[in-house]
Structure 1
Amino acid sequence: MFCRWLAGYTEKEPIPEDLVDEQLSFPRSATEVGEYLAEKALQRTPEDLPRYSTASIGRWVAAIAWGHHERGFPNPCTARQVTDTLNGIRRSTHRPTKRASPLLVGDLRKVVLGTNVTSFPAGVKGTRDIALLVFGFAGAFRRSELSALLVGDVFLHEEDGLHVRVRSSKTDQEGRGQIKALPYGANSATCPPCAFRRWYRLLEAQEQGRPEVMRALRGQNLAIHVCQDPWTGTLPGRSPLFRSMAKTGTIRATAVQGDAIGRMVTERAHAAGIPARNITGHSLRSGFVTQAIRAGATDHQIMRQTGHKNPATVHVYARENAPLEQNAVTTLGL
C-alpha cells in the first residue's frame, strides 16, 4: 500500500515488484509516512464512516517499520511526527468494530438438526459440515486450526471423548502445540465423538466406492449415539481430516480451506433461520466463549480451551455478548 502510494498508483492498480524495491531502496522520511497515514485516515465510505480502521492503519505502520528494519535503515515510524499523526487518527476515528455474532448451543443444535445427513450427495457434505460445526464450537477452534487438522491429530479417549492435537496456531507460531478435549455430549446430534465417527465412517467408505458411501448415509441417524460403536481406524494419520468436496459428493484428498469453512457456517446458519446478522466462521469460537461466560466459567477455564494468552481478550466477549454476566445492574432490584 505504501509503495503503491509513493509511486503514484491507485489502490487497485497492480504495481511491478521491481518498483516496490525501487521505492524502498532508500529510507523514507517521517514526513512521507505521516502524509500517507493522514491521507488514508481522511478517506470515507459511502455511509460516511472511516474507510480504514485504526487497526489496519496500525498494521501499515508496522509493515513500513519492518521494511526499513529489513534493509538496515532507520525506522521513520518512531519519529514524533508519525506517532503524533497516528495518535490523532486514533482519537478522531470512531469506526465501530465489526464482530462475529456468536452461535450459542441452541443455535448450534438448530443448525445441526436442519442438516441433511442421509441422502447422496448432500448427506456427505452435511456430515462433514456437522463435524466442522461441532468441533469448531466445542473446541473453540479457529478456521485455520480446523483446516490444518490431520486424521492422526484426533485420539479417542475412553473417559474424555476426544483429544485433539493443535500443532500450531495464530498465537503459537513456534508450534509448541495444545491438546483440546472434546467431551461426550448428552445430545447425540451435537456430541463431538459422534460427529467425528460419522464423518470418519464416510471417509473410510469412500475408499470402497460410492455404493458403500450411500449405504453408510442411509444408516445414519442423528438421534442415536454412535460414540461407543466399535472402532476400526484404518485411515492414514497424515491425511487431512476435514477435506474439500466436489458437488458430486466426492471427497477430495485436499484439506478444506478456512474461507470455505467460514462460508459454510454462514450458509448453514442462515438456512436454519438464525436471525443474527454477522454470522461468520468465528461465530463458533465466539459462541463457545459466550456460552461459557453465561454458564459461569472462569477466565482460566475458558482460556484452557481457546488458547487465549490474555484474559482481556475473553472480557471483550463478555462486554459484547454477555453484558449482564457479573454486572452490578442485576443486583439493583429493578
Structure 2
Amino acid sequence: MMNQPKIPSDADAGDLPDVVDVVMAMGGATMEKPQEGQNKTPSPRLPTTSDSRLPAHLEQLAGRARDYVEAASSANTRRAYASDWKHFSSWCRRQGFATLPPDPQTVGLYITALASGTAAGEKKSVSTIERRLSSLTWNYAQRGQPLDRKDRHIATVMAGIRNKHASPPRQKEAVLPEELIAMLETLDRGTLRGLRDRAMLLLGFAGGLRRSEIVGLDLGRDQTQDGRGWVEILDKGLLVTLRGKTGWREVEVGRGSADATCPIVALETWLKFARIGHGPLFRRVTGQGKAVGADRLNDREIARLVKRTALAAGVRGDLPEGERGRMFAGHSLRAGLASSAEVDERYVQKQLGHASAEMTRKYQRRRDRFRVNLTKASGL
C-alpha cells in the first residue's frame, strides 16, 4: 500500500504546481527520487528548461507553456489562490490531516471550521467560505487531483452554512457626481500626487472602471507585459481598450462639460506634468512628491484614494466615521456612474462590461430607490 502523501510545510504550502499537460504527455515528465526518511511516493514535476532530460527541441516550448499557465489568471487571483492553499495546508497540519489526495470529508470539516471561527480566530462570511472552496477546487485541479464539490460531505455542509449564516450582500456606497466633485476639491492641484489622483477618480468614474482596470492601463498598445489595456486620446474623448474576464472590450469616455470635471483634461494634465510618454499611466509619486516612478501603481491605492477623499469631503456625513470608512472603495466609482447616468440602461451595461442587464441593475444603487412609488400608484 502506498504511503499517505506528506503534508506540505509552511515553506511550500503556498507554492502552485508547475504543470503543463502537453509537455508531460510528450515525455517531459520525470519522477523525483525521494530522500531517505521522506514519503516514498514519487511526485511528478515539470522539468525546468535547464533540465538535460527534457529534449532540447522542447525547452523553449516548455518555457512558453509556463508563460501561458501564468497568463491564465490574474496576478491577484494567483496570490489569493496561493494564500488560500497555504491556510488550508496549515490547518490540515494542525489537525493531523493530509492535503493530498483530496478528501471531501476533510474539506467539509475545514469549511465548518471557517464558519464556526475555529480555523482563523473569527467566523468567515459565506462569500469568503465559497471563495476558499473555489480556491481549493482550483488548486486541486492544478495538481491533477480534482475535488468533488458535489460530494455530500461538502455540498450538504455548504448548504447548511448558507442557510444559517447567509446575510444580505454588503455593497459599497455609490459615489454620485456632486459627491465626486467634493472629493476632487480635497486634492491639491499643485502637486503631482494631486494631479494623478484627480485623473484616476475622474477616469474611474466616467469609464465605470474597476480599480485593477484603472491602474492596468498603458499609454499605448503592447507597451508593457503586465498591462491590461491602453488609451487613445481623440478629439471627442478617450477610447479605452481593456482586457477583461470575458475578453477584450472598448470603453468610450467623452469629454466633460467643464475642464475642472473633464476626465480627459485631468489625464492630459497628469501626463504632461508627470512627463509620461510610454508605459503605465498611473505610477507612484516619489521623492517627497516631486518625482514619478517607473512602476505601475498597485490597485489597492484606488480603494484607499476613494475612501480617503470621501471621508475628507464629508460624504455621508450623517453616519459615524467608522461606518463611513467601510462604505467606500474602488467599486463606489462604478456604482456611481451606474446610479447617476440618466441614459438607456443598455449603454450603462456596455460601459461597465456586464453580460446581463440584471447585473447592471444591482449597481444602480441609489438612482432607482423610490423612483416608482407603488404606494401612491395604488391610491394611498
TM-score band w.r.t. shorter chain: 0.7 to 0.9
The question of whether the paired residues in 2 share the 8 Å contact of 1:64 and 1:77 is answered with: no
TM-score by length of 1: 0.74
Residue 238 of structure 2, aligned match among 154, 162, 186: 162
1:113 aligns with 2:185: yes
Aligned to 1:271: 312
**2:149 partner SS:** helix
Give the 3 Å change call, closer, same or farther, for CA 182–79 of structure 1 in structure 2.
Answer: same
Task: For 1:161, give the aligned amino acid.
Answer: G
Moved more, 324-333 or 71-80: 324-333
8 Å contact kept, 2:334–2:363: no
Match of 2:353 among 291, 307, 319: 307
1:118-143 CA deviation, whole Å, 9 max, x = no partner? 3xxxx221111110010000001111
Scaled by the length of structure 2, the TM-score of the pair is 0.66
Offset at residue 332 of structure 1 (A): 4.1
Q: Does residue 4 of the first structure (1) align with residue 79 of the second (2)?
A: no
Using the aligned pairs only, state the percent identity: 27
Q: Is the 1:244–1:254 contact (alpha carbons within 8 Å) kept by the matching residues of 2?
A: yes
Q: Is 1:286 matched up with 2:361?
A: no
Counterparts of 1:287 and 1:177 in 2: how far apart (Å)? 23
Quick one: higher RCO (CA 8 Å, sep 6+), 1 or 2?
A: 1
Checking the alignment, whether the CA contact within 8 Å between 1:165 and 1:180 is kept in structure 2 is: yes
The AA in structure 2 aligned to 1:156 is I
> How many Å apart are 1:318 and its aligned residue?
3.5
Maintained 8 Å contact 2:174/2:366: no
After TM superposition, the structure 1 = structure 2 runs for residues 94-243 of structure 1, keeping only pairs within 5 Å, are 94-118=166-190, 123-152=191-220, 153-158=230-235, 160-166=236-242, 168-169=243-244, 171-172=245-246, 176-204=247-275, 235-237=276-278, 239-243=279-283
- Counterpart residue type for residue 287 of structure 1: G
Q: Which runs of 5+ in 2 are unaligned?
A: 1-86, 221-229, 318-323
Q: In 2, Cα distance between the equivalents of 1:320 and 1:83?
A: 36
Paired position in structure 1 for 2:289:
248
- Alignment RMSD: 2.5
- Structure 1: segments with no counterpart, 5+ residues: 10-18, 45-49, 205-234
Runs of 4+ aligned structure 1 residues displaced above 6 Å come to none
SS at match of 1:77: coil
Shift in Å at residue 309 of structure 1? 1.4
With over 3 angstroms needed to count, the CA separation of the structure-2 counterparts of 1:333 and 1:137, relative to structure 1, is farther
3-state SS of the aligned residue for 1:56? helix
Instruction: Decide whether the 8 Å contact of 1:161 with 1:183 is kept in 2.
Output: yes
Number of paired residues? 273
Output the CA distance in 1 between the equivalents of 2:91 and 2:315.
42
